Structure 1
Amino acid sequence: MASLDWLIVAVASFTVFQIMFHCLSARISVFFCKGYRTLTDIQKTEWNSRVVSTFHALVVGILCLYLLWFDDAVNADPLWGEPALVKLNVGLTAGYLISDLLLILWYWKAIGDIYFIIHHLTALYAYYYVLGQGLLPYFANFRLIAEFSTPFVNQRWFFEALCYPKTSRPNIINGFLMVMVFFLVRIAVMPPYYNKMISTFGTEAFYNLGLRAQIAWIVASVCLDAMNLMWMYKIGKGCYKVLLACKKQRADVQENGKQR
Structure 2
Amino acid sequence: MDIPSYFSDGIIWSLSVFSGIIMCKIVYDITEFASSLYSKAYNNLRKIQKIEWNNRAFSSFHAILVSAVSFHLLILSDLYKDDYSQKFIIERTSFLSKSILGISTGYFLSDLAMILWLFPALGGKEYIIHHGFSLLSMTLALVSGSAHFYIIMVLFSEVTTPFVNLRWYLDRADKKDYKIYLYNGAALFLGWLIARVLLFVYFFTHLYLHFDQAKTIFSLGFYNLLITPSLLAMMNVYWFWKITKGLIKNVSKTKHV
Structure 2 counterpart of 1:60, from 57, 66, 73? 66
Q: Is 1:72 the counterpart of 2:78 in the alignment? A: yes
Distance apart, 1:27 and its partner CA = 1.4
Q: How does 1:1-260 map to 2 (within 5 A)?
A: 2-21=9-28, 23-76=29-82, 77-164=88-175, 166-201=176-211, 203=212, 205-249=213-257
Distance apart, 1:34 and its partner CA = 3.1
Task: Give % identity.
Answer: 27
- Tell me if the contact between 1:182 and 1:232 (Cα under 8 Å) persists in the aligned partners: yes
In 2: Cα distance, 1:73 partner to 1:66 partner: 10
Distance apart, 1:138 and its partner CA = 0.8
Normalising to structure 1: TM-score of the pair? 0.89
In 2: Cα distance, 1:182 partner to 1:29 partner: 28
CA shift in 2, pair 1:246/1:196, >3 Å:
same
Show CA shifts across 1:188-234 (max 9, x none).
Answer: 11221111100111x2x333202221101110110111111111111
CA shift in 2, pair 1:67/1:208, >3 Å:
same
- Tell me if the contact between 2:105 and 2:139 (Cα under 8 Å) persists in the aligned partners: no
Normalising to structure 2: TM-score of the pair? 0.90
Show CA shifts across 1:59-84 (max 9, x none).
Answer: 11111111112332334432001343
Highest CA radius of gyration, 1 or 2?
1
Q: Which residues of structure 1 form unaligned runs of 5+?
A: 250-260
CA shift in 2, pair 1:148/1:32, >3 Å:
farther
- Tell me if the contact between 1:83 and 1:137 (Cα under 8 Å) persists in the aligned partners: no
CA shift in 2, pair 1:109/1:123, >3 Å:
closer
Show CA shifts across 1:24-69 (max 9, x none).
Answer: 2211324553321111112111111111100000111111111112
- Tell me if the contact between 2:21 and 2:106 (Cα under 8 Å) persists in the aligned partners: yes
For residue 41 of structure 2, what is the amino acid of its counterpart? G
Q: CA RMSD in A?
A: 1.6
For residue 212 of structure 1, what is the amino acid of its counterpart? L
Aligned residues: 245
Q: Which residues of structure 2 form unaligned runs of 5+?
A: 1-7, 83-87
In 2: Cα distance, 1:227 partner to 1:83 partner: 30
For residue 14 of structure 2, what is the amino acid of its counterpart? L
For residue 153 of structure 1, what is the amino acid of its counterpart? V
Partner of 1:257: none
Structure ranking higher in helix proportion: 1
